[in-house]
Amino acid sequence: MAATSPLYNQLKDAEPFFLLAGPNVIESEEHILRMAKHIKHIATKVGLPLVFKSSFDKANRTSSKSFRGPGMAEGLKILEKVKVAYDLPIVTDVHESIQCEEVGKVADIIQIPAFLCRQTDLLVAAAQTGKIINIKKGQFCAPSVSLFLLTCFELIQKTFCFDDCVYDELFKVMNNSAEKIRLAGNPNVMVCERGTMFGYNDLIVDPRNFEWMREANCPVVADITHALQQPAGKKLEGGGVASGGLCELIPCIARTAVAVGVDGIFMEVHDDPLSAPVDGPTQWPLRHLEELLEELIAIARVTKGKQQFQIDLTPFRD
């Protein structure tokens, strides 16, 4: 297996957390460069390691008429300019195995979209680039089997004297996607919580997932903007639907995530969310980014969320 990358180690050791941030999709070269400049200034000011995010293609759209971005070739050229101009690492997503090699020439982190988190060929192709892989947990997926089942497995192992390889197979149930990256020879993997489907047009973030996803033995990231998406929940004039969202609750999810002790925050940021061509209702306003980050840092510094609480269940005696 290859060694962990310097950037991966830097992010894993970041205190109180690292930041993946930028506009949802590349709208123009000018806009992306301007956003990168402002977001880097703010991240540097508050002292957070930053990886700049934007997508060259939003393939998973509600409507075939939705804006998707400039495409891979042009989009990667623009992200390369951001990388050089502002000395920033880049995170962007892929949708097909064939994209991974080219994207890996520019991106420092390759992101696997939530709907594709179980696509083995895509995960392996991404892993083979050697870049950091950020896997978003599918809206349809549980983070793992429950801690209760983990305890049961441990008891079964002791009772029936299963060897380690049998126990390992049971454990893989809880972190299959991350394990696919490692089995492909790449230890640089992160997992990202972005909500679970609740009915047809809503997502719910279960804070317990931030704890359970640690079983994957890698950094845990909270997507605090997509987690407030309402898929196909916004009716359009003249018919049709688009994704809606609850931007006003982004601070709520963010506060919860850092209190629990996540390693990283993923958020989409825009200077004019109401005019954004993609996911405007779930992009955080640039003008409020510094204010929110300062609060989150303050919460993260006082919480002990990254440390498992040692609970003593023995009888209490006076």
Question: Is a pLDDT exceeding 80 seen at residue 69?
Answer: no
Residues across the chain: 318
Question: Is a pLDDT exceeding 80 seen at residue 197?
Answer: no
pLDDT for residue 46: 98
| Structure tokens given for 293 | 């980050």
Q: Residue 102, SS3?
A: helix
pLDDT tens figures, 232-248? 545 545 544 456 778 88
Range name among 113-117, 249-253, 311-315 with the lowest pLDDT average? 113-117
Q: 249 forms bridges with which residues in the sheet?
A: none
CA atoms within a 13 Å half-sphere pointing along the CA-CB vector of 18? 22
**What does the mean pLDDT of the chain come to?**
84
Radius of gyration over alpha carbons of the chain, in Å? Answer: 20
Question: Is a pLDDT exceeding 50 seen at residue 140?
Answer: yes
DSSP tag of 98: G
pLDDT for residue 104: 96
pLDDT for residue 276: 85
The catalytic residues are 24, 58, 279
Give the Å distances, CA to CA, from 111 to 51, 104, 272. Answer: 12, 11, 24
Give the Å distances, CA to CA, from 211 to 17, 22, 75, 227, 262. Answer: 16, 26, 35, 17, 9
pLDDT for residue 165: 47
| Structure tokens given for 142 | 């549980």
pLDDT tens figures, 77-92? 999 999 999 999 999 9
Residue with tokens 């991106």: 107
Range name among 39-48, 140-149, 150-159 with the lowest pLDDT average? 150-159
Distance CA 52, CA 268 (A): 10
Is residue 186 packed enough to be buried (19+ CB in 10 Å), middle (13-18) or exposed (0-12)?
buried
pLDDT tens figures, 265-306? 999 999 999 988 877 788 999 999 999 999 999 999 999 888
Q: How confident is the model at residue 60 (pLDDT cuts 50, 70, 90)?
A: low
Q: Which of residues 13 and 176 earns the better pLDDT score? A: 13
Distance CA 272, CA 122 (A): 33
pTM across the whole model: 0.84
Q: Which of residues 246 and 10 earns the better pLDDT score? A: 10
DSSP labels, 117-184 = TT-HHHHHHHHTTTSEEEEEPPTT--SSS-HHHHHHHHHHHHHHT--HHHHHHHHGGGSHHHHHHHHT
| Mean pLDDT, rounded, for 103-109 | 97
User: Which residues, at least 6 apart from 308, have a Cβ–Cβ distance to it below 8 Å?
Assistant: none
